[in-house]
């Protein structure tokens, strides 16, 4: 339903339209003011007014469009007339980026690094380079990194005004195309590619008609525009828009298309603003053994939360049936787990450095023909220097090995495992010099002083074709254990006052109740060969 009418505001007739959605009264109607051009709280493209907070909590099903017109529109108009200070005091504290009103083409993106977001405002025009990922060569639908901006100096020499940082250049190390770019005082005007081309041409003759660049399925011509916009309430920073022309010849006919790409900020600050407490992870080096059903989601979460370096040690490959509780599906089958996880992290989280350790611990001399490094040296390289070491191998012998090497180096350790039937799990944090060690934890567990997680003694199976038995259990039962392990890594890296502890997870047998956790201190055990009074 669409209602049209006028509102008398201080003796002036304001034309309004109220458009009710199909789902009213669950969701609110929109009020449009096509004759107004407010500086704030109005969509400059569609002219609808921002009269309430964007969340549905600000709307009551008993409210109506009449109420919006009678109460909210006059309030907005009065605040607009009162000035920016009163508006800022009354409004929800958020910015209104103008670039958000430019519709893009699904699947296209141009990543803008920090250097391009901070390019000197004295530079008004120039050329640039878009770099593409090796696995995604240039196409009509552009997906690339704004890797470099070039300007011409007064001496008519070229100068690099901005260049992406090394992690991004490694990630987008494939082919490249050239673009032109201009600085605009504002992005207001039309909200399509042709408006950007026209504004660029007005700023610098010819920049709205960039040269064609050959791509895999045709030709593209790209112009970038940098301009100031409000990124947070009262905070103005540079933003980028890109106008793209594309053409393709088919059956002797040339088909052209134009579209807009909103520059996607790709900087560590923009990642960190959502996870401010995890900033110390960016400088952390985590060495992790095992990337199975627990270790794989753990490694992915560490990368997602911007850990600085992730060293992964694994030898196994992906089998088809494992995908019911491994993070990746059939596309990963037949590949080494280490390569699948590492390649995914490098493609999607370029600020996390990956170091691969493709190795099965305990190799004999007959198995060493393909490598020239002693295992003792490999372990030393794997651990040093590291912020902490994570063991997700679920192998007691490997845990013992990691414990000894890490203890010698004073490294914080984390051990994560699950039990048969996925009935439980445990996450143990061992901090040298602040409580007991791995031996102490195991000793207390053998004495039942620290409880062991429940298990299903009949939940071990050998799947057809599998060389060794495994236990049953679903991925969603294992995820709480992996999540607690990631939380513990983050806390241990961020804070230095932790001591040795173990968290034990129990999954009730009714299969619907949530997991139950208990936490326990790990003190020095009197019989521990490292920590106890009997070690002499």
What distance in Å separates the CA atoms of residue 412 and residue 501, rounded to the nearest whole number?
12
- Using the predicted structure, report yes or no on whether residue 462 has a pLDDT greater than 60: yes
> Phi/psi class of residue 490: alpha, beta or left (left: φ > 0; alpha: ψ in -120 to 50)?
alpha
Percent of the chain with pLDDT over 70: 98
155 versus 247: the higher-pLDDT residue is: 247
Q: How many CB atoms lie within 10 A of CB 182?
A: 22
What distance in Å separates the CA atoms of residue 55 and residue 148, rounded to the nearest whole number?
39
- Using the predicted structure, report yes or no on whether residue 240 has a pLDDT greater than 80: yes
Give me the phi and psi of 259, to 5 degrees please. -160, 165
Looking at residue 461, its pLDDT comes to 83
Looking at residue 185, its pLDDT comes to 92
Residue 41 and residue 88 in contact, taking contact as beta carbons nearer than 8 Å: no
Q: What is the pLDDT of residues 110-144, one digit of tens each?
A: 999 999 999 999 999 999 999 999 999 999 999 99
Q: Which residue shows structure tokens 């960039």?
A: 210
Within the chain, which residue ranges are assigned CATH 3.10.110.10? 2-92
Percent of the chain with pLDDT over 90: 84
pLDDT (average), residues 399-411? 95
pLDDT (average), residues 36-53? 94
Q: Which two tokens stand for residue 426?
A: 């445990």
CA dihedral 474, 477, 482, 488 (to 10 degrees): -170
Instruction: Using DSSP, state whether 377 is helix, strand or coil.
Output: helix
pLDDT-derived band of residue 381, with 50, 70 and 90 as boundaries? very high
Integer-rounded Cα radius of gyration of the chain: 30
pLDDT (average), residues 315-339? 95
Looking at residue 533, its pLDDT comes to 65
Angle formed at CA 441 by CA 439 and CA 443, multiple of 5 degrees: 65
Please state whether the peptide bond connecting residue 519 to the residue before it is cis, i.e. omega within 30 degrees of 0: no
pLDDT (average), residues 174-189? 93
**DSSP one-letter string for 124-193:** -EEEEEEE--TTS---SS-EEEEEEEEEE-TTS-EEEEEE--HHHHHHT-S-EEEEEEEE-S---S-SSH
Which H or E run contains 402? helix 396-409
Looking at residue 365, its pLDDT comes to 62
Q: Which residue shows structure tokens 């969603």?
A: 476
Looking at residue 536, its pLDDT comes to 41
What distance in Å separates the CA atoms of residue 246 and residue 253, rounded to the nearest whole number?
14
What distance in Å separates the CA atoms of residue 409 and residue 386, rounded to the nearest whole number?
10
pLDDT (average), residues 7-23? 95
Q: Which two tokens stand for residue 401?
A: 């090995």
How many residues in the chain?
A: 536
Residues linked to residue 7 through DSSP beta bridges, in sequence order: 14
The mean pLDDT value of the chain amounts to 93
For the entire predicted model, the pTM comes to: 0.92
The half-sphere exposure of 165 on its side-chain side, counting CA atoms within 13 A, is 11
- Using the predicted structure, report yes or no on whether residue 434 has a pLDDT greater than 90: yes
The half-sphere exposure of 346 on its side-chain side, counting CA atoms within 13 A, is 21
pLDDT-derived band of residue 252, with 50, 70 and 90 as boundaries? confident
Q: Which two tokens stand for residue 529?
A: 């060969």
36-40, 324-328, 356-360, 458-462: which range is least confident on average? 458-462
Closest CA to 339 of 353, 322, 356: 356
Sheet holding 2-9, edge to edge: 2-9, 12-19, 30-32
- Using the predicted structure, report yes or no on whether residue 319 has a pLDDT greater than 90: yes
Residue 526 and residue 435 in contact, taking contact as beta carbons nearer than 8 Å: no
Looking at residue 460, its pLDDT comes to 82
pLDDT (average), residues 306-317? 96
Closest CA to 484 of 453, 513, 462: 453
Q: What is the pLDDT of residues 187-239, one digit of tens each?
A: 877 899 999 999 999 999 999 999 999 999 999 999 999 999 999 999 999 99
What distance in Å separates the CA atoms of residue 161 and residue 151, rounded to the nearest whole number?
6
Residues linked to residue 226 through DSSP beta bridges, in sequence order: 183, 240
What distance in Å separates the CA atoms of residue 16 and residue 74, rounded to the nearest whole number?
12
What distance in Å separates the CA atoms of residue 395 and residue 375, rounded to the nearest whole number?
18
Q: What is the pLDDT of residues 254-311, one digit of tens each?
A: 999 999 999 999 999 999 999 999 999 999 999 999 999 999 999 999 999 999 999 9
- CATH 3.10.110.10 given to domain 2-92: yes
154-168, 223-237, 412-426: which range is least confident on average? 154-168
Closest CA to 445 of 534, 391, 526, 522: 522
pLDDT-derived band of residue 250, with 50, 70 and 90 as boundaries? confident
> 271-521 is classed in which CATH architecture?
3-Layer(aba) Sandwich (3.40)
Residue 72 and residue 79 in contact, taking contact as beta carbons nearer than 8 Å: no
First to last CA, the chain: 87
What distance in Å separates the CA atoms of residue 472 and residue 422, rounded to the nearest whole number?
7
- Using the predicted structure, report yes or no on whether residue 371 has a pLDDT greater than 70: no
Within the chain, which residue ranges are assigned CATH 3.40.50.720? 271-521
Residue 129 and residue 176 in contact, taking contact as beta carbons nearer than 8 Å: yes
- Using the predicted structure, report yes or no on whether residue 323 has a pLDDT greater than 80: yes
What distance in Å separates the CA atoms of residue 430 and residue 391, rounded to the nearest whole number?
11
Looking at residue 370, its pLDDT comes to 61
Looking at residue 274, its pLDDT comes to 92
pLDDT (average), residues 368-395? 88
pLDDT (average), residues 508-529? 92
pLDDT-derived band of residue 367, with 50, 70 and 90 as boundaries? low
């Amino acid at each position: 339903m669409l209602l049209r009418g006028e509102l008398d505001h201080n003796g002036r007739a304001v034309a309004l339209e109220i458009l009710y959605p199909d789902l009213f009264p669950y969701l609110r109607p929109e009020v449009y003011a096509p004759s107004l051009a407010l500086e704030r709280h109005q969509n400059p493209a569609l002219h609808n007014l921002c009269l309430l907070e964007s969340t549905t909590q600000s709307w009551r099903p008993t409210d109506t469009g009449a109420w919006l017109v009678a109460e909210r529109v006059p309030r907005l108009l009065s605040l607009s007339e009162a000035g920016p200070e009163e508006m800022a005091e009354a409004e929800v504290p958020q910015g209104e980026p103008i670039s958000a009103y430019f519709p893009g083409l699904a699947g296209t993106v141009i990543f803008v690094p920090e250097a391009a977001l901070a390019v000197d405002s004295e530079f008004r025009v120039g050329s640039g380079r878009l770099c593409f990922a090796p696995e995604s060569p240039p196409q009509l639908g552009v997906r690339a990194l704004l890797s470099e901006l070039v300007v011409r100096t007064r001496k008519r020499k070229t100068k690099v005004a901005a260049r992406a940082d090394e992690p991004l250049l490694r990630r987008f190390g494939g082919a490249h195309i050239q673009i032109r770019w201009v600085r605009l005082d504002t992005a207001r005007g039309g909200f399509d590619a042709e408006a950007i081309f026209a504004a660029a041409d007005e700023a610098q003759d010819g920049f709205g008609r960039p040269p064609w660049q050959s791509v895999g399925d045709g030709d593209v011509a790209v112009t970038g525009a940098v301009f100031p916009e409000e990124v947070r309430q009262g905070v103005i920073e540079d933003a980028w828009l890109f106008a793209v022309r594309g053409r393709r010849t088919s059956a002797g006919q040339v088909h052209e298309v134009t579209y807009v790409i909103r520059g996607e900020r790709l900087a560590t600050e923009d990642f960190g603003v959502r996870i401010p407490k995890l900033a110390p992870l960016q400088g952390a080096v985590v060495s992790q053994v095992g990337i199975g059903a627990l270790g794989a989601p753990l490694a992915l979460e560490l990368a997602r939360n911007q850990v600085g370096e992730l060293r992964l040690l694994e030898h196994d490959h992906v089998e088809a049936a494992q995908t019911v509780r491994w993070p990746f599906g059939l596309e990963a089958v037949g590949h080494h787990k280490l390569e699948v996880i590492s390649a995914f992290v490098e493609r999607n989280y370029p600020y996390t450095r990956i170091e691969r350790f493709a190795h099965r611990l305990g190799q004999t001399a007959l198995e060493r023909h393909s490598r020239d490094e002693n295992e003792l040296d490999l372990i030393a390289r794997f651990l040093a220097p590291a912020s902490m070491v994570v063991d997700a191998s679920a192998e007691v012998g490997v845990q013992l090995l990691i414990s000894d090497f890490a203890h010698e180096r004073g490294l914080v350790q984390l051990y994560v495992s699950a039990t048969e039937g996925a009935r439980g799990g445990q996450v143990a944090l061992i901090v040298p010099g602040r409580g007991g060690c791995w031996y102490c934890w195991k000793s207390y567990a053998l004495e039942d002083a620290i409880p062991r997680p429940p298990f299903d003694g009949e939940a071990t199976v050998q799947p057809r074709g599998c060389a060794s038995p495994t236990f049953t259990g679903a991925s969603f039962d294992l995820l709480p254990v992996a999540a607690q392990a990631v939380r513990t890594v983050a806390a241990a890296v961020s804070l230095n006052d932790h001591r040795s502890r173990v968290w034990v997870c129990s999954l009730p047998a009714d299969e619907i109740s949530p997991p139950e956790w208990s936490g326990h201190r790990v003190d020095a055990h009197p019989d521990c060969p490292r920590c106890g009074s009997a070690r002499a």
